[in-house]
Amino acid sequence: MAATPAVSVVIPLYNEEESIPDLYAELSAALEALQQPYEVIIVDDGSRDASFERLKAIHTRDPRWQIIRFRRNFGQTAGIMAGFAAAAGAVVVTIDADLQNDPRDIAGLLAKMQEGYDVVSGWRVQRQEPFFTRRLPSISANWLISRTTGVRLHDYGCTLKAYQREVAKNVRLYGDLHRFIPALASQMGVQVAEIPVNDRPRKYGRSKYGISRTFKVFLDLIGVIFVLSYFNRPLRVFGGAGLFTGGLGGLILLYLSYERLIAGRNIGERPLLLLGVLLVVLGVQMISTGLIADMLMRTYYEAQGRPTYFVREHLRRPD
Ligand code: UDP
Ligand code: MG
Dump pLDDT digits (tens) for 201-219: 999 999 999 889 888 888 8
Residues 48 and 14: their CA atoms lie apart, in Å, by 8
Q: Is 133 in the pocket of ligand 1 (CB under 6 A)?
A: no
Q: Average the pLDDT over 95-115 and give the result.
A: 97
- Cβ density class 170-181: b for 16+ within 10 Å, e for less: bbebeebbbbbb
Q: Average the pLDDT over 224-253 and give the result.
A: 88
Q: Average the pLDDT over 228-234 and give the result.
A: 75
Hey, whose CA ends up nearest to atom 19 of ligand 1?
A: 207
Domain 7-230 classification at class level: alpha beta
Question: How many angstroms does the Cα of residue 251 sit away from the middle of ligand 1?
Answer: 57
Q: Is 242 in the pocket of ligand 1 (CB under 6 A)?
A: no
- pLDDT band per the 50, 70, 90 thresholds, residue 283: very high
CB contact set of 306 (below 8 Å; sequence gap of 6+)? 172, 300
DSSP secondary structure letter of residue 283: H
Q: Which atom of ligand 1 is nearest to the CA of 15?
A: 11
**Higher-scoring residue by pLDDT: 176, 142:** 142
Residues 238 and 170: their CA atoms lie apart, in Å, by 28
Q: What's the one-letter identity of residue 181?
A: I
Question: How many angstroms does the Cα of residue 279 sit away from the middle of ligand 2?
Answer: 51
Residue 151 confidence (pLDDT) above 70: yes
Residue 244 confidence (pLDDT) above 80: yes
Residues 4 and 103: their CA atoms lie apart, in Å, by 21
**Domain residue spans in the chain?**
7-230, 234-304
Q: Which atom of ligand 1 is nearest to the CA of 11?
A: 15
Residues 72 and 44: their CA atoms lie apart, in Å, by 9
Cα dihedral sign, 162-166-168-171: negative
User: Where do the DSSP E strands lie in the chain?
Assistant: 7-13, 38-44, 65-69, 91-94, 119-124, 161-164, 192-197
In testing the pocket of ligand 1, which one of 95, 98, 102, 158 has its CB within 8 Å of the most ligand atoms?
Answer: 98
Hey, whose CA ends up nearest to atom 9 of ligand 1?
A: 13
Residues 190 and 306: their CA atoms lie apart, in Å, by 17
Residue 66 confidence (pLDDT) above 60: yes
CB atoms within 10 A of CB 19: 22
Q: Is 13 in the pocket of ligand 1 (CB under 6 A)?
A: yes
**Higher-scoring residue by pLDDT: 106, 228:** 106
Question: How many angstroms does the Cα of residue 32 sit away from the middle of ligand 1?
Answer: 25
Ligand nearest to the CA of 209: 1
